[in-house]
Structures are given as C-alpha cells and as structure tokens.
A and B are shown apart, each in its own frame.
Chain A
Amino acid sequence: MEELAHWTQRSVADFVYNISSNFVSQLERRMEEREIGRGEFAVLMNKSKGRVSQVFNNPGNLSLRVIVEYARTLGMKVSLVAYDDGDPEDKNGPINPEVFVKSWEMADRPQDLFEVAEKETKQAEMTRLRNNISYGKPQSVYASKSAEPQPGMPWIGNLFGESMDTTLYSITGCASFSSIAQTPEIQNPLLMQILPTTQELRS
C-alpha cells in the first residue's frame, strides 16, 4: 500500500492542533461518562457556553493554562509527555494520549519510579516462574513436602528456585501458567503469596 505522510508532518501548527484535539477528545469522553453536557461544563468552568463550544469545536490554540483548567474542572490531571517513538520525521503522527493512559492503568497506576521498578521486578519474577513450568493436562494442584516429584505426576518445577527451599510444589498436569494462577492454593504465583504455605509444610 502506498505510504502517505501524516498530515501533522506539514507544520508545527498542525501537530499542535492534533494533540490539542486529542486532549479535547479525552475531556469529551470524560463528560460523556459523567453525563455532563457542554452547558453544564460551561457553568462549572464559569465561562460562557459559546466560549466552551469554541474550544471544543476548534481546539487548535489551547494554552497550557487553559488545558489544566479544563482538565481540573473534570477532576483530571495533565502530564506533558515527551517520547521517542522512532519516527523523527513524523510519518505516523502523534501517539494517541489514551495509549499512555491505558498503559499506565494497566501497570496499576504507579505513582513514582520506585513503584515502576517494583512492578518490573515482579514482572521479571513472573517470567522466571513461567519459564520453570512444564505443561500437562489440567487437573488439580498438589502441594508436596517431598523434595522429589511424585511418581506418575508431572512435576512443574520448583517455584522457589534451588536456593530458597527444597520443598517442591508438585502440580499434576496444569495446562498453562494461568490455570495454576487461578487455583486457590496458588492464587498469586508471586513468592509472597506462596511462602506462608511453604513454611507450614516445612513445620
């Protein structure tokens, strides 16, 4: 298919228009969710309906101050995000702000970079556990005090790694990692959830 340059490539004004328009769309979606009409919004803003409609219908020239005022009125905050999407010539236009919002929400809304780092560590642990598991038929979860796999039962691996404990969880035939995660015994496959059970077994 023929590759066409994105319309925001033409000028800074076009790019600014697009990101302002995306911002106004976010506000409009919020207003729809809360069933707030433009008239009501104008009252909340202490502005005329005409002025508000002007911004919503032609959002090309918004100042940062106005952006923050409009967002605050709807109980929202604003972050100005610079990013590098590997498209310096702007062939694809800006990334939709909702992509950043959804990604942040999917990461459980971290408030600072320490929380981001914690999530990364947990994610890495999940990946490691997932890689330890071999697959079989879905049946039931069996926790064993034994250091050896139960005869005839496919062993999915030592969830704690060799350095933590010799207690093993033998799980008969789990189809997938998610089916293990859904079992009551191992609701959350992260170590904090499993560790108390292990200690009970040990004692």
Chain B
Amino acid sequence: MSPVALKFDLVPEVRCSSHRAIGFLHGDPELNAHDTFTALNEPERRYLLSSMGEWIDGQNRPATRFHGFPNHPDCSMCFVFKAREKRQGHRFYAYLCHPLRNSNPRFQLCVLCIHALKNQWETDQAELARVKAWYADDAAKVAIRAQYPDEGKNEQKGRQKQWKN
C-alpha cells in the first residue's frame, strides 16, 4: 500500500504499561489520525487522552468512548476512539495487534490510523476496510517493529540452538 517509509510514535504524555499502549501510524496522506489529533482543541484532546488512559488501564468500556467491532468478524482487529465537538463526532480508527509475540505475547498495541468526522451513528464500513488494509501493510509492520523489536524467548532459543550447532 505504501511506497514511503512509515513511522510509528506512541501517543505522547499517555502512560504505557506492559499490557497496553497506544500510538500513531503516520507518513502517508491517508494516515491522518496523528495530524488531526495534534491539531485538536484542548477539550477534545483532553477527553481523548482520558479515554486512552482508561483503555491502557484495562477498561474495555464504555462504548460511548471506545470500542472494538466484534460484530464485524472480518474487522475484529479494528478499534475506535470517539469524541464529540459541538454537533460533530470525531472518530479515530485504529487496529489492535500484539507486536511482542515472543517476549510479551499478551501486550496489546492500539495503532491509530485514520480520523473521520461523523454525524451518523453507524460506522462507515469503508473506514474499517482501510484500517484493515493498514493492519496487513508490510511498511506498517516495519514501523511498529522499529518501536517494538521483539527479541523474545523463542528467538533467543532459536539463536542459542544455532550457536550450539
């Protein structure tokens, strides 16, 4: 999807834990979540930072603030953070992944990709499809791996075995 190098940055000033973290994937015009978030007004930004903190702390609700898409089996990796500004609804679409499969398999990363303004309740399927495409994108995987190099037990074991032989 992307010929240019992508970048992944954790959301600044939000706590990360060994269980969950949130960051922005950016470097492509379609990946507008980072720039939109940076330009948000203070109330909406604080609202979203609070919601992100809740999710990192282990909350999976309320759905008025963030939720996954369990009713869309094809998009089960998709996630969204929501905020309201006047009559418009901000949607920050993301995907969830486990970048440390070897060293910390339970660690869950929320990769924010696309921002959209919503007036309707229903989620736009097209946005989920775009997020899903970024989930599978090789450049995105490289960008995340740069932030989360996964030198875990399995890889160490493999190296050890090779060295013995």
Contact = CB atoms under 8 A, between A and B. Distances in A.
Interface string B30-71: 000000000000010011011101100111011111000000
Interface stretch (B12-20, B122-130, B138-146, B153-161): B12-20
Nearest to A96: B57
Contacts, number: 71
Contacts of A5: 13
Interface string B1-13: 0000000001011
B84 interface: yes
A68 B162 CA distance: 64
Interface stretch (A20-28, A72-80, A139-147, A159-167): A20-28
B43 A60 contact: yes
B20 to A, nearest CB: 12
Nearest to A94: B53
Given A25-B54, A96-B59, A6 B65 contact: no
A93 B52 CA distance: 12
Interface residues of A, number: 27
A97 to B, nearest CB: 10
A132 interface: no
Contacts of B43: 58, 60
B46 A17 contact: yes
Contacts of A96: 53-54, 57-59
B53 A18 contact: yes
Contacts of B15: 6, 92-93
A47 interface: no
A119 interface: no
Contact of B63 (A18, A32, A58, A60): A32
27 contacts: A1-B10, A7-B12, A7-B46, A9-B13, A17-B46, A18-B46, A18-B49, A18-B50, A18-B53, A21-B46, A25-B51, A25-B59, A28-B65, A29-B59, A29-B62, A32-B64, A56-B64, A57-B47, A58-B43, A59-B47, A60-B43, A92-B15, A93-B53, A96-B53, A96-B58, A96-B59, A98-B57
5 closest cross-chain pairs (CB), A and B: A21-B50, A28-B62, A7-B13, A96-B57, A57-B84
Interface of A: 1, 4-7, 9, 14, 17-18, 21-22, 25, 28-29, 31-32, 53, 56-60, 92-93, 96, 98-99
Interface of B: 10, 12-16, 43, 46-47, 49-51, 53-54, 57-59, 61-65, 83-84
Given A9-B13, A28-B65, 16 more contacts: A4-B13, A6-B14, A7-B12, A14-B46, A18-B49, A21-B46, A25-B50, A25-B54, A28-B64, A29-B61, A32-B62, A58-B43, A92-B15, A93-B53, A96-B54, A98-B58
